[in-house]
Amino acid sequence: MASFDLIVIGSGPGGYIAAIRAAQLGLATALVEKDPAGLGGTCLRRGCIPAKTWLETAHRFEHMHDLADYGIAGVDVSNLRADLQAIVKRKNRIVLKNGKGIEFLMKKNKVQVLKGFGKLLGGGRVEVKGEAGAEVHEAKKIILATGSVPRELPGLETDGVRVLNSDHILDITELPSHLVILGAGAIGVEFASTFARLGSKVTLVELLDQLVPVEDTDIGLELAKIFTKSYKMDVRVKTKITRLERHADKVVCHLEGEKAGTVEASHVLIAVGRAPVTGGVGLEATKAKVDRGYVDVDAMLQSAEPGLYAIGDVVKTPWLAHVASDEGVVAAEHAANSLGKDAHPHPINYDRVPGCTYCDPEIGSVGLTERKARELGHDVKVGSFPFMPMAKANIVGEPHGFIKIVADGKYGEILGIHIIGPKATELVASSLALLAGEMTVDELIGTMYPHPTLNEVFPEAARAVQGRALNL
């Protein structure tokens, strides 16, 4: 048995960042990971990073067809095809490289890595069951960061062959001739965008009344319009899959709702969200309160069990890697502070969490949607400005989408910024700075942006809030 100041269970972007921060503050720290593939968790191994490698390939594949328009001659693009085996190999190389980087950071910061399944035993004890057997370790503080797994639906269970989840599809080496995707959240629309550009026919099915339901309504409507027009997708909202017929070479989907019917597909992707991994980790041996799989925590990520914190996908906060990382820092600093270290933890302002969806066109958002602002009683004024007239958008060949600003009409305060278009996931950082600085519409109008850049849409959208956008 070994004793530590802190044990972190789970090495995703929340867990490994928490371990590093704790070690930097002088805590004897251990990191537990059950995945034999290595450190990094869902984000690195089966989520954010590998999915973005697929998206980058699809983006480049699409733009290869426009080479002649850019003045690049002598390339026969008629024979271009997607080599999925090469895509998977490149994805694996990037994952391996980043995993080695995390291992290096653990050694550099003197974090002891414990390989095996971590289980809470109560009283500050953690059992780690690995290939060599089980060991019990003690810790003054524990951070639970066990992440999530793809959610399954009764009757629509995945098999990894024809009916896939977001883990399976990352390693597919056969291009689907027709891919039906159930769920149009971030995962669903990203894979829809990927495979439509690589050459698959795509049918996108969403139970709610818009794509990307957490986003502003106008964003969801614009994405559906672009998917339908530019990528010839069959987009079906207010619709659900009730039954699947599985055959050796196809899957027949039975749909109910606004666009009911049957659809034959080569593959089906179930992308209806993720479920927290809290079963079997020993929470019943603690005083922690669990609600539908989520651990209840306070502003400093503390559970009802003394010394036990929970972060990332196992708590009811936005399921985003950057949120988990920030929560890891808060939990580690609070644990260190309680153990007498010079740390100054701060609660996270979840109203300022930037959201990013990496489909094409990209989506970036922060703050209140128009609908939410009205629900909260604001005197709402909105303004939108398209990328179409912006010089830089035309230069990069992506003059689609828009920026939308949601503001308070009485005080001029910017309440939310929502972007769909080129580099939206990068532009959202500028949006975050505007909201963090509590900038008003008038102040944004008076801010100078360099030309030509995509950032020039910000003051134009602010002018549109006041009904006086420039006619560029």
| Residues marked as catalytic | 451
Please give the single-letter amino acid code of residue 349.
N
80: exposed, middle or buried (C-beta count within 10 Å: 0-12, 13-18, 19+)?
Answer: exposed
Distance CA 405, CA 34 (A): 44
Residue 338 in tokens:
């309680």
Cα-based distances in Å from 444 to 9, 113, 232 = 44, 48, 37
List the one residue out of 400, 360, 356, 454 whose CA is nearest residue 62. 360
Cβ-contact 251, 170 below 8 angstroms: no
Phi, psi of 373 (to 5 degrees): -60, -40
- Report DSSP letters for 193-261, one per residue: HHHHHHT-EEEEEESSSSSSTTS-HHHHHHHHHHHHHHH--EEEESEEEEEEEE-SS-EEEEEEETT-E
Other Cβ atoms within 10 Å of 43 Cβ, number: 24
Contact residues for 61 (Cβ-Cβ < 8 A; gap 6+): 80, 82, 197, 198
- Quote the CA–CA distance of 342 and 462 in Å, as a whole number: 43
Query: 102-107 long-range CB contacts below 8 Å, 24 or more apart?
Result: 102/11, 102/16, 102/38, 102/39, 102/40, 102/44, 103/38, 103/39, 105/16, 105/20, 106/16, 106/19, 106/20, 106/31, 106/39
The three-point CA angle 237-240-241 to 5° equals 135
Residue with tokens 């969403």: 206
